[in-house]
Amino acid sequence: MQFFYIVRSGDTLSQIAGRWALPVDSLIAANNIGPPYTIYVGQQLSVPPGVDVYRVKAGDSIYKIAQLYSVPQSVIIEANRLQPPFTIQVGQLIKVPPGNPYYIVQPGDTLFQIALKFNVRTGGHSNPELIRQVNQLASYDIFPGMRLIIPYAPPGDLGLIAYTSILGATGYDIWVYQPRDGVNIQLTTGLGESYSIPYWSPDTRKIAFVGRNAILYIASLEGGHASIDQFAAGEGQLLSWSPDSNKLAYTNRNAIILYDVSTHQAERINQQDATDVQWFPSGTELLFQAPDTSGISQLFRINADGTRKQQITQNTGTRYNHVRLSPDGAYVLYTTPGASISIIYTLELSTVRVTEVKGGPLAKNYFPFWSPNSSSIAYSATAFDDKGYFSLIRTTGRQGENDRTRAISNCFAVPVTWSPDSRKIAYLSGCNNQGTASEIWYLDTLHPVPIRLVAGGAITALAWSPKPISGARRTYTNPNFKVQLQYPGHWRRVTEERYEGQDGFFQISAISSEEPIHTVCQNEAFHQLQPYGSQPRVISGQVQSQEACFIYPSDDQPAEMRGQSALIVRYPQPIQIEGTTYHYLILWADQNHINEIGSTLRFL
């Protein structure tokens, strides 16, 4: 839910943002304020998460702290669960929210306007229904003075965010979040560990990760997984997919391993103490870090067949950490010297020119991640250690230009990831007392208001899919009906022929009639029980080069039918089931999914 600050006399956007160490453009975007960026006394402003902790000094009181932040004392008392006489101690950390967790309805407000103003939008469109649901309103009618919780809405973007979480009952696992509709899908069951990091294949069909017992797994979005190797220790293993998604590169037992996921054959390139192996975009060369003959950390490149090893750098200092090749193969980033001090550098491969990224104020810069278009780097920078640690979510150009803070995470150090279009960033937050993150947040760099996507359960890693696919799919195969299709991955089996989710369903059967398809479709569409309403639409077509028709319901279809539509397709060859011959397959699905599922239908 969003928090709302009430503007007081003398306030400016810059001052309000500064109290919680926020970028002012984030505050502007959170309220969709346009030039000349004026605000007025009594206005309610949604304030994004910031540095909402204050360390008590000698002479402080709840009243003084409330005055410092221009918030009611009650807000601080409630947030810290203080009891009368509300005494506080020097050195104590006090939580100072930017206001109340609700919006007070003003004269002339509508749910549509409120949703639009405070970024409750999905796919760029106002989502007032979400506000109505969260507040359990019987209708869209609201009145002045009403208190409304303002939620965060799924942004509607394409692509998927894989993350490691303990949300389920089986411990840490790989989950997938769909920004399109806010659905979370558990991809694995009992295979993950807290250190598991998901690595997407470029075709966005598979995820590799090191899981339980340090075993290397490959999980498919269509269902199923395979274990392919085991490490002495599971933490810190970088996995790199070849550009064609056929091979996985990693280091193990003093060698670079190239594992072919289709043939299940592994090639080995001996290389002592190599780490951070990655494919160049050509698919014929690899980058890696290893010590030179003097034991000093260097970067190398080598052909995938193990020939033509070349040393790239002439390092004389400390070890290169977190080495990452840019997607276009032109730059490398790394951090050095270690964990307590971590500075990001970029190296241009054509010139071997090294550039230092300015980074955060404490020189603790972690998890740098290239944007897919190779133009930018996102990373987290630990800051405000006197207040229990927060992280600045920052972006910079590949030569350290335009280094700036985009958002605040209340965690010590968190991984970040870019969307496929190189415009949005997702990051972790929701830490308590320097613990593990429990939330995934998102922001659009062109409209930088943080939006919470996932909350609940420990979350340790995340990665956005490299392609903007609409959602995770699973493959359904029925040998009796001799058909295969794909369906939304979060739907669950009801019977062998039916799968359902909150947002839809599908079911298959067969029709034995030998009549022409036009007659079969009319008989189904205008059944005497009117399952598609009184005036369904029947549209002829072809599926898999076979005669077919779609049946879409009319507006008076009964609500309990859940928008049921149908696809009828003539079998290439009639099938036999328990002695009966069937000439047609019929697929039922809700109206929102019938075309999408029907397009994946294949006869076995």
Average pLDDT, the chain: 92
**Do both 408 and 492 map to the same domain?**
no
Tell me if 149 is assigned to some domain.
Answer: no
Walk across the sheet containing 310-311 and list its strands: 275-279, 285-291, 297-303, 310-311
Residue 385 main-chain phi, psi, to 5 deg: -65, -20
pTM for the model: 0.81
Q: Work out the average pLDDT over 223-245.
A: 89
Sorting pLDDT into bands at 50, 70 and 90, what band is 434? low
Q: From 464, 481, 496, give the residue that closes a domain.
A: 464
Answer yes or no: is 69 within a domain: no
**Which letter does DSSP use for residue 34 in this model?**
P
pLDDT confidence bin for 106, thresholds 50/70/90: very high
pLDDT at 448 over 70: yes
In a domain, 503, yes or no: yes
For residue 589, pLDDT beyond 70? yes
Q: Domain ends where: 464, 490, 516?
A: 464
Same structural domain for residues 274 and 418? Answer: no
345 is a domain residue: yes
Q: How far apart are CA 193 and CA 210, in angstroms?
A: 8
Does pLDDT of 169 surpass 80?
Answer: no
Q: What would the mean pLDDT of 189-212 be, rounded to a whole number?
A: 94
Confidence of residue 287 (pLDDT cuts 50, 70, 90): very high
Same domain, 342 and 440: yes
pLDDT tens for 383-403 read 998 888 899 999 999 999 999
Claim to verify: residue 209 and residue 312 sit in the same structural domain: no
Q: What is the mean pLDDT of residues 564-587?
A: 94
Among 464, 499, 516, the domain-final residue is 464
Are 304 and 324 in a shared domain? Answer: no
Residues of the chain with pLDDT > 70: what percent? 99
pLDDT tier at 235 (50, 70, 90 boundaries)?
Answer: confident
Domain assignment present for residue 389? The answer is: yes
For residues 224 and 356, membership in a common domain is answered with yes
Closest CA to 406 of 430, 387, 426: 426
Q: Are residues 219 and 343 in the same domain?
A: yes
User: Given this model, what pLDDT does residue 525 score?
Assistant: 93
Q: What is the per-residue burial (b if ≥16 Cβ within 10 Å, else e) of 85-95?
A: eeebeeeeebe
Which tokens hold the place of 52? 């909402």
pLDDT at 420: 94
Residue 100 domain flag: no
Domain span at residue 134 reads: 105-140
Please compute the mean of the pLDDT values over residues 125-146 and round it to a whole number.
Answer: 92
Query: Which H/E stretch holds residue 17?
Result: helix 13-19
pLDDT grade for 433, boundaries at 50, 70 and 90: low
> Which tens digits make up the pLDDT trace of 24-58?
999 999 999 999 999 999 999 999 999 999 999 99
User: Looking at residue 289, what is its pLDDT?
Assistant: 96
Same domain, 211 and 359: yes
| Residue 571 pLDDT > 90 | yes
Looking at the 3D structure of the chain, how many domains does it have?
Answer: 4
Assign residue 558 the CATH number of its domain: 3.40.1000
Q: Is there a single domain that holds both residue 432 and residue 341?
A: yes
277 lies in some domain: yes
Residue 442: per-residue pLDDT: 96
